[in-house]
Structure 1
Amino acid sequence: MTPSRTRLSLLIGLALLVLSPLLAAQQPTPVIAARASLADWSDPLEALGTLHADESVTLSATVTETIAELTFEGGERVSAGELLVRLSDDEQQADLRVAQALRDERRNAVNRLAQLQSRNLAPRAEVEDARARLRQVEAEIQALEARLADYRIQAPFDGIVGFRNVSVGTLVTPGTELATLDRLDVMNLDFTLPELALGQVAPGLTLTATSAAFPDTTFRGEVASIGTRVDPVSRSITVRAELDNPGLRLRPGMLMQVTLQRAPREAVVIPEAALIPKGQRQFVLVLQSDGEAYRVEERQIRIGARREGEVEVLEGLAVDDLVVAHGTERVRDGQPTRLLGILDDDTTVPELLRRGRDNAEANG
């Protein structure tokens, strides 16, 4: 090869080397986009809380007597008013029957005297005395019936009864624990927050809670009330929330990880991968329609809070704007692009890349 031809080949190679990036730059660069969407947003605040039953009571005896009947074994659901424990009340029942018989006797006496008095055969004062004696025995019957109620321990509300620790024939005294009863359909969750958060918490705020016992389950509830005092030592305030308890899986005393959703709002949201940080400023690449293709526009935005994989946009984007979510390092402002797909809840980046390769191979 002559020297002149060698130089020509070198010049052509250098020209191709210089022009190839320019030619490649004119080819649309494939990217994957995401659409700016309007979503529910809040600022999470985490805390630890303890569960309590919505209603909880320990039933105990108020008299000294032996247990005559037990209607529960423990762990079953009972209804309000259902009999749980009956104490031996034979003597009291006998006293009641005596008082009832006396009431019948005095009622008959009142009726006879009233008939005689209507025919002026009995003084009015004697009739009034008989009626007073009748009222006296009726009052005694009411007192006996009230005392008999102490011998029957009933469920004060619907709930689940605890374990039975006594047996028929056991002698109980006032204060002896007979049964526990808890209402577990709704649970109270008490947790503390720093006093700085007091202005950001109000009844009705939603929250989620998780437990180590059920790591794959998220329980939802809302703030029911806020304590009236701030602890002067810890500078914290107690908040009470109500949690639904489907399946009655939660139990009083359990430790819960609480995430409180502060300042709930609707926000424009984009994937965090779309951000291009430059110092203290944040940019995104917005796709503008250019016929059948798209052209990239670099745009500065102002962001708010972040959560896993997403970021809140305060300024610079509108709902439904398309931003480059994958391929930001390969495109520049004003460059044409080829859209491989748009990310959503049903698609992933690998899936869209695979579709793009399949389409390219099909088109030769």
Structure 2
Amino acid sequence: MSSRRPVIVALCAIGLAGLAAYAWYANQPRSTPADTQAAVEAPVVVEVARVERRAMADDVTAVGSLVSNESVVLRPEVAGRISRIAFRDGEAVRRGDVLVELDAAVQRAELQQAQANLTLAEANFRRSEDLFARKFVSQSSRDNARAELEVARAGVALARARLARMQLRAPFDGVVGIRSVSPGDYVKDGDALINLEDIARLKVDFRLPELYLDRVKPGQTLELLSDVLPGASFAARVDAIDPLVDAQGRAVRLRASLANPEGRLRPGVFVRVRLILAERPEVLVVPETALVPAPGNVQFVYRVLDGKAQRVDVRTGMRRETMVEIVDGLDAGAEVVTAGQLKLRDGAPVSVLQAAVAGAA
């Protein structure tokens, strides 16, 4: 009997342990299949927006620099001493205005001498004509007198041209720059005296990749933006396309023009150019936040249909500010998820925020 006692004690201990385990299991809360399914399929709260139709322009952007409509650096054709400066720095001048005069005392004396020679030659020619009519002189004498008259006239024209070269006149309407010479300075022929800029109208030079060559043409409109005037935009028009494509950069050079009556822009300013290639009145667009990137350079969106998220692969086009063109995959009016995509899967139930829907509408 004593030999069986340890076995009986062990069996009793095992039985008590089993009863304790059963009691613990029976007291645990049970989860039903319906509860499990409800936990897995809980709706994901998302924000949505509708696919809209908007007008959108096909365009291309570039950078360029503003250039004066006309620009010249005035230089004297002859050496001399400056006798008068007839403008103020930065002043607007008209075509033909005298800007700089050189000392022309010698040239004026030469003109007076040439005019005196012309007066004498005219008198000699008239006398020769009278004598020739009365048969007192030969034909050759009359011809010599006529030749001397023509030489005297040419001498006057030459003296006047030399005198005119002592004045530098504005070749067009514009604004003069800041001079670096003063009256009394001796200048040589070819020295730069002052620059003259026509800024009432400006040109902008920029370059585009050669792949746009068949889509650009004179007359197209473009928009200019400059950091000099933040928030302001200026309209311009393409005037010319360089027939030569740059072989190094594979780019074509274009020149556009724009009015600048108030002088707000100046030559040399850096500008950003937006060239409008074509206008499209109805384009399907969605917010950028609706796009989800996928491996393989693929993009998709989640469309809300019957309270569930449906994955739709899309093909995108142009981008404007925060909107993206949808080329293929969606129709106008469809609702797409714009926030909450990270928690979604294809076919998952969704709960749309009413505030987001009202804002999208």
TM range (shorter): 0.5 to 0.7
Aligned pair partner of 1:264 in 274, 278, 282: 278
2:229 matched to which residue of 1?
214
1:253 matched to which residue of 2?
268
Residue 190 of structure 2 is aligned to residue 175 of structure 1: yes
Residue 57 of structure 2 is aligned to residue 41 of structure 1: yes
Cα separation, partners in 2 of 1:197 and 1:33, compared to 1, 3 Å: closer
Task: List gaps (5 residues or longer) in structure 1.
Answer: 1-30, 286-299, 330-347, 353-364
- Equivalent position amino acid for 2:80 in 1: E
Q: How does 1:1-364 map to 2 (within 5 A)?
A: 36=53, 39=55, 41-43=57-59, 45-261=60-276, 263-269=277-283, 272=286, 304-308=317-321, 310=323, 349=359
Mapped to 2, the partners of 1:132 and 1:264 lie a distance apart of 69
Post-superposition Cα deviations, 1:311-334, rounded to whole Å, max 9, x if no partner, equal 65778999xx9888999x9xxxxx
Task: List gaps (5 residues or longer) in structure 2.
Answer: 1-47, 293-297, 305-312, 341-357
Mapped to 2, the partners of 1:140 and 1:61 lie a distance apart of 22
Mapped to 2, the partners of 1:209 and 1:274 lie a distance apart of 25
Rg larger in structure: 2
Mapped to 2, the partners of 1:158 and 1:231 lie a distance apart of 34
SS of equivalent to 1:46: strand
Post-superposition Cα deviations, 1:119-155, rounded to whole Å, max 9, x if no partner, equal 3333332222111101011111111222222101011
Cα separation, partners in 2 of 1:277 and 1:146, compared to 1, 3 Å: closer
Mapped to 1, the partners of 2:134 and 2:101 lie a distance apart of 51
1:355 matched to which residue of 2?
none
TM-score (norm 2): 0.67
SS of equivalent to 2:262: helix
Mapped to 2, the partners of 1:225 and 1:186 lie a distance apart of 15
Computed over aligned residues only, the root mean square deviation of the Cα atoms, in angstroms, reads 3.8
SS of equivalent to 1:220: strand
Mapped to 1, the partners of 2:207 and 2:76 lie a distance apart of 36
Q: Does the CA-based 8 Å contact 1:202-1:226 persist in structure 2?
A: yes
Post-superposition Cα deviations, 1:68-124, rounded to whole Å, max 9, x if no partner, equal 111112111111111111111111111110110111111012112212322333333
TM-score (norm 1): 0.67
- Equivalent position amino acid for 1:267 in 2: P
Number of aligned residues: 289
Mapped to 1, the partners of 2:206 and 2:186 lie a distance apart of 41
